[in-house]
Amino acid sequence: MKDGEAGVAPVQVRGPVLTVRRIDAYYALTMVAPPIATRFRPGQFIAVAVGGPETSMLLRRAFFVHDVRPDHGGTVEFVFTARGPGTRWLAARRGRDLLDAAGPLGRPFPVPRDPVSCLLIGVDYGSTPLFPLADRLRSRGCQVDFLLGGSSVDRVFGALRARRAGRSATITTTDGSLGVRGVVTDMLSQVIHEARTDAIYASAPMPVLREVTMLASRYEIPVQACVEETMACGTGTCMTCVLPVVGADGITRIVRSCTAGPVFRGDAVRWDDVGTIPFDALGAPGWKPPGQPQEAAPGGPPRRAAGERGHAR
């Protein structure tokens, strides 16, 4: 597949489960889904229906694709924690059970044209989309360094694979059970210096992505941030996974992370305003088309919106 190809259409697949494996604190499920595997590009995700055809759980669960392999015509693997009824159901799947998955969804990681030095940052199982990305970057001659973190050794996903796949792999844990005691952002400056990083790819909780973007901007290093927002469908219809993103025209829009993302330019996301509708976002209460005078929102500002967090611009 060519780069810059404007999104290959996703497909809905009912495919058999191949394996469900326990990996430390996580589960990895592999299913046969040839059309997804062939279309997939790193950073994309799949939306999986849980609970079977008569399920009372209507929302699809979105997972980053961790691995695609050519066996059985094409398999897809994703990683999750069994923390709710839906993911517990997934963890209880066995070989040959059928699974309904839609994908590949979302905007993949853009990859640099030149062989540059890339730093891949992942926290917990947020690191899963970084491994197919690392393969792709290396195939293009890029240097790949990893910076992975988690609360403890069993929460850092893919430390071994990162050591094998990367030129270097720095691990942090908050309890010090593996690597350096601390969080990934503690080590970021050091790793950037040592690896002479040109570009950063990060997949982590929002506060980490925010801090990575902030630190990277000091070194003028571009960040591609992969976000994880609550989704109901994953396919772009439900409008629930939104966050404020500044466009090339300087206008903030409330965009869907499933279709405009999950990968965003770090400096385009208004991290401080995630979860809110910033007062200057297109269509915010009181918003007027450019050129017309702004006026106060009728009925006062809504909850958690309109400058409550005082975003200075």
Partner 1 sequence: MPVDLRTRLGHVELPAPVLAASGCAGTGRELAQFIDIARIGAIITKSIMIEPRAGNPTPRVAETPSGMLSSVGMQGPGIDAFLQRDLPWLLSRGARAVVSIAGSSAAEYAELAARLSDAAGVTAIEINLSCQNAGSRGQVFAHHPDAAARVVDAVRRSTRYDIPVFAKLSPDVTDITSVARSCVAAGSDGLSMVSAVRGMVIDTETMRPSLAGITGELSGPAIRPVAVRCIWQVRQVLRDVPIIGMGGVRSGRDALELILAGASMIAVGTAVFHDPSACARVQRELEDELAQRGVERVADVIGLAHHPARPAASPLRRQA
| Least Å from the CB of residue 86 to partner 1 | 8
H, E, C per residue of 162-222:
HHHHCCEEEEEECCCCCCEECCHHHHHHHHHHHHCCCEEEEECCHHHHHHHHHHHHHCCCC
| Least Å from the CB of residue 260 to partner 1 | 13
Closer residue to partner 1 in complex, CB, 150/244: 244
Closer residue to partner 1 in complex, CB, 289/293: 289
- Closest C-alpha to 201, from 190, 209, 189, 191: 209
| Least Å from the CB of residue 74 to partner 1 | 19
Closer residue to partner 1 in complex, CB, 90/254: 254
| Least Å from the CB of residue 219 to partner 1 | 31
Closer residue to partner 1 in complex, CB, 37/119: 37
Judge contact between 97 and 7, C-beta under 8 A. no
Q: What is the DSSP letter of 159?
A: H
What is residue 57's three-state secondary structure?
coil
Q: And the tokens for 171?
A: 């691990």
Closer residue to partner 1 in complex, CB, 57/116: 57
| Least Å from the CB of residue 140 to partner 1 | 29
| Least Å from the CB of residue 252 to partner 1 | 9
Judge contact between 131 and 77, C-beta under 8 A. no
Q: C-alpha dihedral over 83, 60, 100, 124, to 10 degrees?
A: -40
Binding residues for partner 1, rule: CB under 8 A, are 9-12, 49, 55-60, 100, 102, 229-230, 232-233, 235-243, 253-254, 259, 274-277, 281-285, 287, 289, 298-299, 302-305
Q: C-alpha dihedral over 155, 230, 106, 222, to 10 degrees?
A: -60
Closer residue to partner 1 in complex, CB, 20/59: 59
| Least Å from the CB of residue 100 to partner 1 | 7
What Rg do the C-alpha atoms of the chain give, in angstroms? Answer: 20
Closer residue to partner 1 in complex, CB, 110/301: 301
What is residue 76's three-state secondary structure?
strand
| Number of Cβ atoms within 10 Å of the Cβ of 6 | 5
